[in-house]
Amino acid sequence: MRYIKDLPHPQVKISLYSWNSKYIVKIEAGPYEQTYKIGEFDVTGPDDVESMISESFMASVLARFGEMDRDWSGAMSNDE
C-alpha cells in the first residue's frame, strides 16, 4: 500500500493511500477506523478523492464512530 498524504481534519486522522488500482481513504478516531475504497478509474486522481470528503460525508462518518463506540462499549460490558 502506497501512502499518498494526510487530509486535514480537526477531529479525526484521514489518510489517503493507493493500492491494487484503488484509492483508500482511512479515517481513524481513537481505537476505531473506517476505510473507503474508490477505484482509480472512477476518479481523475487523489484531488478528486479529497473533494469527495464533504462536510455532510464527515458528519455521517463521525456519527458512525459514535455508533461504533456504543456497540463496543456494550460488548465490553456484556457478561456473557
* Range 17-54 burial, b when 16+ CB lie within 10 A, else e: beeeebbbbbbebeebebeeeeeeeeeeebeebbeebe
Cα-flanking dihedrals φ and ψ of residue 3, to 5°? -70, 135
Q: Which residue has the cell 458512525?
A: 64
What local confidence, expressed as pLDDT, does residue 78 receive?
75
Residue type present at position 73: S
- Would you give per-residue pLDDT tens digits along the chain (80 residues)? 999 999 999 999 999 999 999 999 999 999 999 999 999 999 999 999 999 999 999 999 999 999 999 999 999 887 55
CA distance 80 to 25: 35
Number of domains in the chain: 1
pTM over 0.75: yes
Host domain of residue 11:
2-77
